[in-house]
Amino acid sequence: MMQVGVDQGYQPVQPIHYSHKIHAGDNGIDCKYCHSSARVSKTSGIPSLNVCMNCHKSIYEVAESTATEEYSKEFYDGEIQKLYAAVGWSDADQKYTGETQPVKWIRIHNLPDFAYFNHSQHVSVAGIECQTCHGPVEEMEIMSQFAPLTMGWCINCHRDTNVKVQDNAYYTKIHEELSKKYGVDQLTAAQMGGLECGKCHY
Ligand code: HEC
Ligand code: HEC
Ligand code: HEC
Ligand code: HEC
Ligand code: HEC
């Protein structure tokens, strides 16, 4: 029963073949350019098609050298056409037609509703890299779930990872008191309260 609801490796076929390898890897586009809310809110979110069009108004095809044995240039160019159809862009006329059809991206990572997870707490406050939890995304031609997202996975990291107290006034006093209590210099997320049921379940 331990594996029920554990979707590690889940890799659905998306409505548009969107390659993180080509965008975040080969072209070095920053994760937060598209997933901009990760820094400041609970969710990371999926970018709207307008964000895609910042570039794709002018990028209507891929270079020959982007094609691989598995995916041809024609295939990739066809996927960019799908983006145009969805956002209602006529490349011939260089204008929007007004006819849109939203892309229904299939959600991959999904915690049960009774567990609370917050991106900004981990990304901005703790300074953890996206890749620590999501794996080598910049190498993924097709996105898949890297971590098991089980309670044990959360807890183990809270036991092992020190809280980043430097340059964070919020922690100065708490750090002083707790490090005395535990007799240590560095505090783990667990010692800071990261094992309390109510932090993740309420
Ligand atoms: C140019 C825009 C863009 C960039 C840059 C980008 N992503 Fe994404 N990301 C998407 C889109 C679109 C999806 C939804 C389609 C998919 O799952 O492949 C997505 C999906 C994801 C998902 C899965 C979401 C789910 O449903 O669970 C993760 C995790 C993710 N991105 C992480 C990253 C990380 C980490 C980086 C940087 C290394 C990054 N992304 C860079 C556009 C982007
Ligand atoms: C910052 C610029 C930028 C943004 C934003 C961007 N792209 Fe791209 N896209 C590129 C570049 C560069 C290429 C590759 C061109 C090449 O290889 O010659 C590309 C290639 C593609 C391709 C063909 C390769 C593949 O991934 O299948 C598709 C489809 C595509 N983009 C869809 C999207 C979608 C959907 C979004 C929004 C979620 C998006 N792009 C956002 C720059 C961008
Ligand atoms: C500490 C681990 C951790 C880190 C660091 C992390 N994520 Fe996530 N991410 C998760 C978990 C857990 C979920 C599932 C959240 C849920 O279902 O409520 C998730 C979900 C997502 C999703 C799906 C949409 C959403 O918001 O639920 C995207 C996209 C994503 N992460 C992108 C990123 C990007 C980009 C970064 C870096 C800026 C990042 N993540 C950093 C653990 C992490
Ligand atoms: C890669 C390591 C890592 C993983 C994986 C991780 N966390 Fe964390 N988490 C941290 C760190 C470090 C902190 C302390 C951040 C800070 O400085 O406040 C933290 C803090 C938290 C807090 C705030 C605790 C408090 O005392 O206020 C919650 C809630 C939380 N995490 C939930 C989760 C959940 C739910 C998961 C699994 C879905 C998870 N975390 C996975 C490293 C991780
Ligand atoms: C750091 C975050 C975190 C803390 C702290 C935490 N949990 Fe969880 N818990 C989760 C996540 C995420 C899940 C969902 C994933 C899973 O079922 O493994 C979960 C699942 C559960 C489940 C459902 C298990 C199942 O098989 O469906 C129960 C019951 C539970 N937790 C009880 C507790 C109790 C009791 C505590 C305190 C002793 C606690 N949790 C502390 C994150 C946490």
Tell me whether residue 25 is in a domain.
no
Cβ of residue 131 lying under 6 Å from some atom of ligand 3: no
pLDDT tens, 69-126?
Answer: 999 999 999 999 999 999 999 999 999 999 999 999 999 999 999 999 999 999 998 9
Tell me whether residue 86 is in a domain.
no
Tell me whether residue 184 is in a domain.
yes
Tell me whether residue 60 is in a domain.
no
| Residue 179: per-residue pLDDT | 85
Q: How far is ligand 1, taken at its centre, from the CA of residue 67, in Å?
A: 21
Which atom of ligand 3 sits closest to the CA of residue 117? 18
Pick out the chain residues at pLDDT < 70.
1-4
Residue 199 sits in which domain range?
150-202
Q: Comparing C-alpha atoms, which of 99, 118, 97, 102 is closest to residue 48?
A: 102
**Residue 146 neighbours by CB under 8 Å, 6+ apart:** 8, 133, 134, 135
Do the Cβ atoms of 15 and 107 come closer than 8 Å? no
Ligand that comes closest to the CA of residue 76 = 2
Tell me whether residue 201 is in a domain.
yes
Q: Name the residue with the closest Cα to ligand 4, atom 14.
A: 189
Cβ of residue 119 lying under 6 Å from some atom of ligand 3: yes
Tell me whether residue 179 is in a domain.
yes
Count CB atoms within 10 A of the CB of residue 178: 17
Tell me whether residue 48 is in a domain.
no
- pTM metric for this prediction: 0.96
Length of the chain measured in residues: 202
Q: Based on the structure, what is the number of domains in the chain?
A: 1
Count CB atoms within 10 A of the CB of residue 189: 22
